[in-house]
A and B are shown apart, each in its own frame.
Chain A
């Protein structure tokens, strides 16, 4: 089935540093990738939609200068958390849509556990 590979699976960084998270669609072309944030025991909250070759669309309340999204190719989307602070600690997960007929549904990356100390 369709696979989205997400790296790293976990990362610990110091306050003030930046962290880049990568999501690659391995067997389909993802013109769109969705980025979610999930706090413990909570739901997935959509942060932004990345679009190949154009600017990302951010959800209300999400700081675009803090969460930089790049989608330079049909198989790679990245999320960079800039100047990270402890409150940015969370589970970040991406999702692509392989298209109807390909086992249906969105396929999710394995997630990145970010801890900012």
Chain B
């Protein structure tokens, strides 16, 4: 089955700096790669996703890149703010709506 690895497990950045989280996946058939933000005790919230026919997608301060050949994808947050502090999960599935395999998560701490 699919295996998703995520690094780093924790990331501390100064407010205004950029944060980058990287994930690799094992199943070349995976085609859908969402990123979720989860605050303590709350549900995961989709922040951005990318499909395999796209190499990069951007939404304001958030961007995701995908390298299908290398089977890795990354989340980039620019101009970080304290409210960006949370746990971020990458995930992969073969099709939108199919089983999601999550990475282990990255605790992001943005210090003022």
Which A residues fall within an 8 A CB radius of B?
32, 34, 41-46, 49, 91, 93, 95, 97, 99-100, 103-106, 108-111, 113
Contacts of B103 in A (CB 8 A): 43
A sample of 10 more A-B contacts (CB under 8 A), given A45-B102, A104-B46, A105-B46, is: A34-B99, A43-B102, A44-B102, A93-B43, A99-B97, A100-B97, A106-B46, A108-B43, A108-B44, A110-B42
Interface residues of B in 66-110 (CB under 8 A from A): 89, 96-97, 99-105, 107
Q: Which of A34, A43, A99, A104 has the most CB of B within 10 A?
A: A43
- In the complex, the answer to whether A43 meets B49 with C-beta atoms within 8 Å is no
- In the complex, the answer to whether B99 meets A49 with C-beta atoms within 8 Å is yes
Q: Which residue of B lies closest to A36 (CB)?
A: B102
Interface residue from B42, B96, B99 paired with A111 (Cβ < 8 Å): B42
Q: How large is the interface on B (under 10, 10 to 19, 20 to 34, 35 or more residues)?
A: 10 to 19
Interface of B is mostly: loop
Interface residue from B43, B89, B102 paired with A110 (Cβ < 8 Å): B43
Least CB distance from B101 to A in Å reads 7
Least CB distance from B5 to A in Å reads 11
Q: Which residue of A lies closest to B93 (CB)?
A: A106
Q: Which residue of B lies closest to A111 (CB)?
A: B43
- In the complex, the answer to whether A109 meets B43 with C-beta atoms within 8 Å is yes
Assuming A99-B97, A110-B42, A111-B43, is B104 touching A42 (CB within 8 A)? yes
Assuming A104-B49, A105-B49, is B105 touching A97 (CB within 8 A)? no
Least CB distance from A21 to B in Å reads 14
Contacts of A100 in B (CB 8 A): 96-97
Least CB distance from B64 to A in Å reads 13
- In the complex, the answer to whether A42 meets B34 with C-beta atoms within 8 Å is no
8 contacts between A and B (CB under 8 A): A41-B107, A43-B102, A43-B105, A91-B41, A105-B34, A106-B34, A108-B44, A111-B41
